[in-house]
Structure 1
Amino acid sequence: MAGLMQHRDARIYVLAQCLSVAGDSALWLGMGIWVKILTGSNTEAGLVFFAYIAGALTAPIGGMVADRFRRRPLLIWANFASAAAVCALLVATHRGDVWIIYAVMFVYGAVGSLVISAQTALLAVMLPDELLGDANATLQTAEQGLRVLTPIAGAGLIAWVGPKPVVLIDAVTFVIAGIAVASLKIRESAVSMAGHWMDEFTAGMRHIRQTEALRKLLLAGVIALIAFGLIQPTLYAIVANGLHRSPPFLGVLQVAMGVGGIVGGLLSMAIQDKIGERVLVLAGILAAAVAFPILTIGSLVPVLIAMFLIGACFVSVNIGAYTLIQRRTPNELIGRVDAALSMAIMVPQGLALATGSALLAWVNFRPLLVVMTVILLLAAIPMLGVPAPEPRAAQPEAAPAETPAVEPATS
């Protein structure tokens, strides 16, 4: 951690991401709550997350773009574009405007998948191998730490005065993050992609298929994200039907999840190099399998404990997965590998989210939680035999940083 903070670009990037995540956390939860307030429907509130996942399904395109252009200028313009997009939410004030929220969340998901792929690749160029785990852990811990404050603040603002302050804050944080990324002094070379576009488009999935560790991570992720897709709309039902609280109370559960994320992130940072990425991912999946049944208890304290465990689970899985990708993939493929994994995982997640939203109109949430637990136990199986880490592939020589303009790579 100390070594990471001594790295100038790492400090700036982490601070920029903290600002962006602060706005994202408030908006993500806030739009679901706003739709619930406008419509009174758990199903329509859950579809906010479905719209985001649908946008994220453009990940293969985003991954190819992340490998086609220099990542620093790409992240600058992605932040500015996101700031413009979220401002459209300012006009969504009536039930008939819900489609605007869905449309913006779709764009949010599409740009978000591009940013994640570009960020994963940028970190691999910006930092030495020994700092990658710390960087992923720090970003994930910061994200979860901000969830302690921003969700409940966002939920409170929406319940009090509506979504306008939350939307404007998120837009401002995107602009600040874009300016901060522009100040990085990272030196990166453009990546040559001279092959047929279809070959380049599918290169990430081919690398996953040929790399045992990534192949098993993909299988575990596909299975686990079915359960995580079901949990998003289920949380609204837990708040309304299990705890008998109003929709903004979901912000309290997100705070518990954020505290768990902080603890999970700090613990992951301390033990990842000792136990490896595989065990970290496996531990996160098993932690969620323990937490989900606890959510069936219609009492506040057990539910808060379960959300704490889920927060720790999310962080450990994300840290382990990102580090595994960075250490098992050549730099010129990282964007497409990250996008291919995200795409393959998010398809079942999106289908599960839509299915869960529909089922909650007909069945109680408790049987769904039991099903999710069984699914997570199945997801742990592929991670039991992931091979030990291999030496990281050699990276291309860096070139001087360019001005913040999106320039295509040359052959």
Structure 2
Amino acid sequence: MRELLKDRNLRLLLVGQTLSMFGDTAMLLVLAMWAKQLTGSNSAAGTVLAAVIVPTLLAPLGGIVIDRLPRRPLMIAVDVATAAVVLTLLLVHDEGDLWLLYVVGFLYGASLVLFQSARAALLTTMLPEQLLGPANGSLGTVREALRLVGPLTGAALFAGFGGHAVAVLDAATFLVSALALALMRVAEPKPEPHEHHVLHEATAGARHLFTHPVLRALVVATVICMLAIGFGESVFFAVVDQGLGRPVSFIGVLAAVQGAGAVLGGIAVTVLISRVGELRLVPVGLALIGVGCLLPVSDLLPVVAAGSFLLGAGLPIVVVAIVTALQRRTPGPVQGRVFTAFEFLTGGPQLVSILVGAALVAVVDYRWLLLFMAVGNLLGALYAAVRLREPVPGLRVGPGTAEVEPTHPQPLA
């Protein structure tokens, strides 16, 4: 960490992202709480969050934008535009304005897809390959640590002053992030000229993922997880309401407990990723998520809290490991398209899962849905443990270079 903080650009990025991610953790929860308050429906809360995932279906087009433009100026523009979008929530007053929550959720999700993919690609320009894992781990730790305060702050502001106060706070954090990016000095390579049809360029990321055996297996493992985990956007409101008998604002407490687990997971992945490699950490994180989804079947608050803690611990491990694996195995000129293609391939199943979960939570006992989530993530962990393997020694892996494949690809299992 000390070596990372010597880099002025990374310090600025961390400052800006700390505030911006604080706003995210507060606002995204409040969008769901706001929908629940306006309609009294757990399904409405889940479908508003589904709107945040919908832009992943268009992510490959965003990848073209990321790879055709300098990434830092693009990120500044996205921050400023998103601040303006969030401020339109000041127009929400009653159930008739519910549609605006969906519009903002969709545009918010689009900004996350563009910004996070561009950020991951920018890091490969800013840092040497050996620091990518620790840098991703540091950003992940900060993001998850904010779950300790972001959701509680958002829930408290929502309960005391309404969603408008949270919208103003979130918009301000985007502007601070834009300022931090503007102060950075990064020499980005000139984007390569586009020589193919837009469809060919849009599918370049997916082609890279499916022709690379390690990344292909990573996609499959993530899809298995996403088909199950999306249920949680609606199910945990039912856990709070039906299982624990608490008001909707109590979801902020569980989110904070999840944040405590995420801090531990983020610290662990930052330390371990350079020692054991990112691929070995994927099944560990998925297994923690699976157990974390199983425990809230209980009506006992300590058991539910333990589940939230384990779920939180698993998430940053999986996310940091995946981001680092993609960075290390993707040529620089197509990183934007590869990250957005990954978002598309895994976000689609997550969206389906969120929508199905939102529909089922109204007619099926939420405990059965939790069991499905647990089984799905544990199956994903098993698949990852069997299929994900470190590259064959001697192959070249690094940012800006493609991994050299043997003439006859080695089996993964």
TM range (shorter): over 0.9
Opposite residue 395 of structure 1, the aligned amino acid is G
Structure 1 moving runs of 4+ over 6 Å: none
Any conservation in 1 of the 2:31–2:49 contact (CA below 8 Å)?
no
Query: How far did 1:55 drift?
Result: 2.3
Q: How does 1:100-119 map to 2 (within 5 A)?
A: 100-119=100-119
Any conservation in 2 of the 1:263–1:312 contact (CA below 8 Å)?
yes
Query: How far did 1:278 drift?
Result: 1.1
Aligned to 2:242: 241
Cα 1:395–1:374 change in 2 (3 A) is closer
- Counterpart CA distance in 1 for 2:396 and 2:3 is 21
Aligned to 1:280: 281
Flag structure 1 segments of 5+ consecutive residues without an equivalent. 397-411
Aligned to 1:75: 75
Q: C-alpha deviations, 1:23-57, integer Å up to 9, x for none?
A: 11110001111111111110111111111011232
Aligned to 2:206: 205
The number of residues matched between the two structures is 396
Q: C-alpha deviations, 1:199-258, integer Å up to 9, x for none?
A: 111000110111111100100011101111111110100000011000010000000011
Aligned to 1:225: 226
Cα 1:394–1:234 change in 2 (3 A) is closer
Q: C-alpha deviations, 1:328-378, integer Å up to 9, x for none?
A: 001111111111111110111101100100111111100111111221122
Q: C-alpha deviations, 1:267-319, integer Å up to 9, x for none?
A: 11111112111111110001111111101001111111111111111100001
Q: How does 1:300-339 map to 2 (within 5 A)?
A: 300-339=301-340
Opposite residue 388 of structure 1, the aligned amino acid is E
Query: How far did 1:68 drift?
Result: 1.1
SS in 2 for 1:15: helix
Aligned to 2:408: none
Q: C-alpha deviations, 1:139-194, integer Å up to 9, x for none?
A: 11001111101111111111122111110010011011011101111100222122
- Counterpart CA distance in 2 for 1:240 and 1:190 is 53
C-alpha root-mean-square deviation of aligned residues, in Å?
1.1
- Counterpart CA distance in 2 for 1:196 and 1:117 is 22
Any conservation in 1 of the 2:67–2:334 contact (CA below 8 Å)?
yes
Q: Taking structure 2 as the reference length, what is the TM-score of the superposition?
A: 0.94
Q: Taking structure 1 as the reference length, what is the TM-score of the superposition?
A: 0.94
Aligned to 1:404: none
Q: How does 1:82-97 map to 2 (within 5 A)?
A: 82-97=82-97
Any conservation in 2 of the 1:42–1:237 contact (CA below 8 Å)?
yes
Query: How far did 1:386 drift?
Result: 2.0
Opposite residue 134 of structure 1, the aligned amino acid is P
Opposite residue 318 of structure 2, the aligned amino acid is V
Deviates more, 1:271-280 or 1:131-140: 271-280
Aligned to 1:188: 188
Deviates more, 1:239-248 or 1:378-387: 378-387
Opposite residue 224 of structure 1, the aligned amino acid is C
What percent identity do the matched residue pairs reach?
Answer: 38
Q: How does 1:147-158 map to 2 (within 5 A)?
A: 147-158=147-158
Aligned to 1:28: 28
Query: How far did 1:394 drift?
Result: 6.2
Aligned to 2:375: 374
Opposite residue 21 of structure 1, the aligned amino acid is M
